[in-house]
Structure 1
Amino acid sequence: MWEERLKLYDSFVTKCARFDRLGKTMPYTSTNGYMFSLLNKNAELGIRFSKEVQETYFKKFDTTIYKSYGAVMKGYILITEAMLTNETLILDLLNESYDYFNSIEPNKHKK
Protein backbone atom coordinates (compact mmCIF):
# COMPACT_ATOMS: atom_id res chain seq x y z
CA MET A 1 0.00 0.00 0.00
CA TRP A 2 2.75 2.48 0.94
CA GLU A 3 4.72 1.93 -2.28
CA GLU A 4 1.56 2.41 -4.36
CA ARG A 5 0.71 5.61 -2.52
CA LEU A 6 4.29 6.86 -2.93
CA LYS A 7 4.01 6.34 -6.70
CA LEU A 8 0.71 8.25 -6.72
CA TYR A 9 2.19 11.09 -4.64
CA ASP A 10 5.23 11.24 -6.93
CA SER A 11 2.96 11.36 -9.99
CA PHE A 12 1.13 14.37 -8.52
CA VAL A 13 4.31 16.22 -7.59
CA THR A 14 5.92 15.49 -10.97
CA LYS A 15 3.05 17.34 -12.65
CA CYS A 16 3.77 20.43 -10.54
CA ALA A 17 6.81 21.90 -12.28
CA ARG A 18 7.51 24.57 -9.63
CA PHE A 19 8.61 22.19 -6.86
CA ASP A 20 10.07 18.74 -6.28
CA ARG A 21 9.45 15.89 -3.91
CA LEU A 22 12.11 15.67 -1.21
CA GLY A 23 12.95 13.07 1.43
CA LYS A 24 13.81 9.41 1.06
CA THR A 25 12.09 7.82 4.04
CA MET A 26 9.60 10.62 4.68
CA PRO A 27 8.49 12.06 1.32
CA TYR A 28 7.51 15.72 1.44
CA THR A 29 7.49 19.02 -0.44
CA SER A 30 8.87 22.27 0.90
CA THR A 31 9.16 25.92 -0.08
CA ASN A 32 10.29 29.12 1.63
CA GLY A 33 11.36 27.10 4.66
CA TYR A 34 7.94 25.42 5.12
CA MET A 35 6.99 21.83 4.50
CA PHE A 36 3.63 21.90 2.71
CA SER A 37 2.83 18.30 1.83
CA LEU A 38 3.80 15.03 3.42
CA LEU A 39 3.27 11.30 2.94
CA ASN A 40 3.35 9.62 6.35
CA LYS A 41 4.30 6.05 7.30
CA ASN A 42 0.60 5.05 7.13
CA ALA A 43 0.52 6.06 3.43
CA GLU A 44 -1.68 9.06 4.22
CA LEU A 45 -1.17 12.28 2.31
CA GLY A 46 -1.48 15.64 4.03
CA ILE A 47 -1.42 19.09 2.47
CA ARG A 48 -0.88 22.25 4.52
CA PHE A 49 -2.77 25.54 4.40
CA SER A 50 -3.42 28.58 6.56
CA LYS A 51 -5.61 27.91 9.61
CA GLU A 52 -8.58 29.61 7.94
CA VAL A 53 -8.29 27.59 4.73
CA GLN A 54 -7.75 24.40 6.75
CA GLU A 55 -11.05 25.00 8.58
CA THR A 56 -12.86 25.69 5.31
CA TYR A 57 -11.48 22.53 3.71
CA PHE A 58 -12.43 20.37 6.70
CA LYS A 59 -16.05 21.17 5.84
CA LYS A 60 -15.79 21.40 2.04
CA PHE A 61 -14.04 18.04 1.62
CA ASP A 62 -15.45 16.27 4.70
CA THR A 63 -11.97 15.61 6.01
CA THR A 64 -10.08 16.08 9.25
CA ILE A 65 -6.72 16.86 10.81
CA TYR A 66 -3.63 15.13 9.51
CA LYS A 67 -1.28 13.23 11.78
CA SER A 68 2.22 11.97 11.18
CA TYR A 69 3.96 9.69 13.65
CA GLY A 70 1.16 10.37 16.12
CA ALA A 71 1.57 14.16 16.04
CA VAL A 72 -1.09 16.53 14.75
CA MET A 73 0.45 18.44 11.85
CA LYS A 74 -0.40 22.16 12.15
CA GLY A 75 -2.42 23.47 9.20
CA TYR A 76 -2.59 20.17 7.35
CA ILE A 77 -5.70 18.43 6.07
CA LEU A 78 -5.94 14.70 5.53
CA ILE A 79 -6.39 13.93 1.84
CA THR A 80 -9.17 11.34 1.78
CA GLU A 81 -9.42 8.34 -0.51
CA ALA A 82 -12.19 10.09 -2.44
CA MET A 83 -10.02 13.18 -2.92
CA LEU A 84 -7.11 11.07 -4.19
CA THR A 85 -9.21 9.92 -7.15
CA ASN A 86 -9.46 13.52 -8.39
CA GLU A 87 -6.04 14.37 -9.81
CA THR A 88 -7.06 17.91 -10.80
CA LEU A 89 -8.16 18.60 -7.22
CA ILE A 90 -4.88 17.32 -5.74
CA LEU A 91 -2.80 19.32 -8.22
CA ASP A 92 -4.84 22.44 -7.43
CA LEU A 93 -4.41 21.90 -3.68
CA LEU A 94 -0.66 21.33 -3.96
CA ASN A 95 -0.25 24.48 -6.05
CA GLU A 96 -2.49 26.50 -3.73
CA SER A 97 -0.43 25.40 -0.74
CA TYR A 98 2.83 26.17 -2.55
CA ASP A 99 1.58 29.65 -3.46
CA TYR A 100 0.44 30.35 0.10
CA PHE A 101 3.76 29.40 1.68
CA ASN A 102 5.65 31.47 -0.87
CA SER A 103 3.48 34.49 -0.05
CA ILE A 104 4.36 34.64 3.65
CA GLU A 105 7.55 35.54 5.46
CA PRO A 106 10.21 32.83 5.08
CA ASN A 107 10.62 30.41 7.95
CA LYS A 108 14.09 31.43 9.09
CA HIS A 109 14.42 28.39 11.32
CA LYS A 110 14.32 26.07 8.32
CA LYS A 111 16.72 27.82 5.97
Structure 2
Amino acid sequence: MTWDNALKIYDEIVASCDGFERKGKNMIYTSSNGYMFTLLNKAAEIGIRLPKDKASKFMEEYDTGHYYSYGAKMKDYVLVPETLWTDKDLMVGFFQKSFDYVNSLPPK
Protein backbone atom coordinates (compact mmCIF):
# COMPACT_ATOMS: atom_id res chain seq x y z
CA MET A 1 0.00 0.00 0.00
CA THR A 2 1.24 3.47 -0.80
CA TRP A 3 1.79 6.01 1.96
CA ASP A 4 -0.86 8.33 0.48
CA ASN A 5 -3.46 5.55 0.52
CA ALA A 6 -2.52 4.62 4.09
CA LEU A 7 -2.84 8.28 5.11
CA LYS A 8 -6.31 8.48 3.55
CA ILE A 9 -7.45 5.37 5.45
CA TYR A 10 -5.86 6.60 8.70
CA ASP A 11 -7.59 9.99 8.32
CA GLU A 12 -10.95 8.30 7.67
CA ILE A 13 -10.59 6.23 10.84
CA VAL A 14 -9.61 9.24 12.96
CA ALA A 15 -12.46 11.33 11.50
CA SER A 16 -14.90 8.62 12.64
CA CYS A 17 -13.67 8.82 16.25
CA ASP A 18 -14.85 11.19 18.96
CA GLY A 19 -12.64 13.31 21.18
CA PHE A 20 -9.41 13.57 19.18
CA GLU A 21 -7.98 14.54 15.81
CA ARG A 22 -5.03 13.69 13.62
CA LYS A 23 -1.85 15.69 14.17
CA GLY A 24 1.41 16.11 12.32
CA LYS A 25 2.46 16.76 8.74
CA ASN A 26 5.43 14.43 8.32
CA MET A 27 4.99 12.32 11.43
CA ILE A 28 1.29 11.44 11.54
CA TYR A 29 -0.18 10.68 14.96
CA THR A 30 -2.93 11.18 17.51
CA SER A 31 -2.31 12.21 21.10
CA SER A 32 -4.14 12.91 24.33
CA ASN A 33 -3.18 13.52 27.95
CA GLY A 34 0.41 14.13 26.79
CA TYR A 35 0.79 10.71 25.12
CA MET A 36 0.74 9.65 21.49
CA PHE A 37 -1.58 6.69 21.01
CA THR A 38 -1.78 5.97 17.25
CA LEU A 39 0.85 6.47 14.58
CA LEU A 40 1.29 6.19 10.84
CA ASN A 41 4.98 5.70 10.05
CA LYS A 42 6.98 6.33 6.86
CA ALA A 43 6.58 2.66 5.90
CA ALA A 44 2.78 3.22 5.70
CA GLU A 45 2.10 1.11 8.80
CA ILE A 46 -0.45 1.91 11.49
CA GLY A 47 0.40 1.34 15.14
CA ILE A 48 -1.82 1.64 18.18
CA ARG A 49 -0.88 1.86 21.84
CA LEU A 50 -2.59 -0.62 24.17
CA PRO A 51 -2.09 -1.84 27.74
CA LYS A 52 0.35 -4.76 27.88
CA ASP A 53 -2.31 -7.43 28.39
CA LYS A 54 -4.48 -6.13 25.54
CA ALA A 55 -1.43 -5.66 23.30
CA SER A 56 -0.42 -9.30 23.82
CA LYS A 57 -3.96 -10.48 23.09
CA PHE A 58 -4.14 -8.27 19.95
CA MET A 59 -0.82 -9.63 18.62
CA GLU A 60 -1.92 -13.21 19.21
CA GLU A 61 -5.44 -12.79 17.81
CA TYR A 62 -4.36 -10.91 14.67
CA ASP A 63 -1.01 -12.66 14.13
CA THR A 64 1.04 -9.48 14.28
CA GLY A 65 3.88 -8.03 16.32
CA HIS A 66 5.32 -4.94 17.87
CA TYR A 67 5.23 -1.62 16.04
CA TYR A 68 8.38 0.09 14.82
CA SER A 69 8.72 3.69 13.73
CA TYR A 70 11.92 5.19 12.36
CA GLY A 71 13.68 1.93 13.23
CA ALA A 72 12.75 2.05 16.92
CA LYS A 73 10.45 -0.38 18.70
CA MET A 74 7.58 1.66 20.12
CA LYS A 75 6.79 0.67 23.72
CA ASP A 76 3.22 -0.61 24.19
CA TYR A 77 2.42 -0.30 20.45
CA VAL A 78 1.19 -3.05 18.17
CA LEU A 79 1.34 -3.22 14.40
CA VAL A 80 -2.16 -3.21 12.89
CA PRO A 81 -2.30 -5.61 9.93
CA GLU A 82 -3.53 -4.03 6.68
CA THR A 83 -6.24 -6.70 6.51
CA LEU A 84 -8.01 -4.92 9.40
CA TRP A 85 -7.87 -1.41 7.94
CA THR A 86 -11.01 -1.75 5.85
CA ASP A 87 -13.10 -2.81 8.86
CA LYS A 88 -13.86 0.74 9.93
CA ASP A 89 -15.94 -0.22 12.99
CA LEU A 90 -13.19 -2.50 14.27
CA MET A 91 -10.50 0.13 13.66
CA VAL A 92 -12.52 2.91 15.30
CA GLY A 93 -13.03 0.60 18.28
CA PHE A 94 -9.30 -0.01 18.63
CA PHE A 95 -8.46 3.69 18.20
CA GLN A 96 -11.02 4.51 20.92
CA LYS A 97 -9.56 1.81 23.22
CA SER A 98 -6.12 3.31 22.68
CA PHE A 99 -7.48 6.81 23.41
CA ASP A 100 -9.14 5.54 26.59
CA TYR A 101 -5.91 3.82 27.65
CA VAL A 102 -3.72 6.93 27.42
CA ASN A 103 -6.36 8.95 29.22
CA SER A 104 -6.18 6.46 32.11
CA LEU A 105 -2.45 7.21 32.54
CA PRO A 106 -1.15 10.04 34.73
CA PRO A 107 -1.02 13.27 32.64
CA LYS A 108 2.38 14.25 31.24
Answer yes or no: same fold by TM over 0.5. yes
Aligned length: 107
In 2, Cα distance between equivalents of 1:105 and 1:57:
24
In 1, Cα distance between equivalents of 2:101 and 2:3:
28
4+ residue stretches of structure 1 with deviation over 6 A?
A: none
2:79 maps to a residue whose letter is: L
**1:103, CA displacement in angstroms?**
1.3
Query: Which residue does 1:78 correspond to in 2?
Result: 79
Query: Which residue does 2:100 correspond to in 1?
Result: 99
- Per-residue CA deviation, residues 18-64 of structure 1 (Å, 9 max, x unaligned), is 10000010110000011000000000000001112111111111111
**1:85, CA displacement in angstroms?**
2.1
Report the secondary structure of 1:101's partner residue: helix
**1:72, CA displacement in angstroms?**
0.3
Report the secondary structure of 1:66's partner residue: strand
In 1, Cα distance between equivalents of 2:18 and 2:94:
14
Tell me which moved more, 46-55 or 19-28.
46-55
Unmatched 5+ stretches in structure 2: none
In 1, Cα distance between equivalents of 2:28 and 2:66:
19
Query: Which residue does 1:90 correspond to in 2?
Result: 91
CA-atom RMSD, angstroms? 0.8
1:46-85 correspondence to structure 2 within 5 Å? 46-85=47-86
1:19 maps to a residue whose letter is: F
Report the secondary structure of 1:37's partner residue: strand
Indicate the percent of aligned positions where both proteins have the same amino acid.
Answer: 47
TM-score, length-normalised on structure 1? 0.93
TM-score, length-normalised on structure 2? 0.95
In 2, Cα distance between equivalents of 1:9 and 1:37:
9
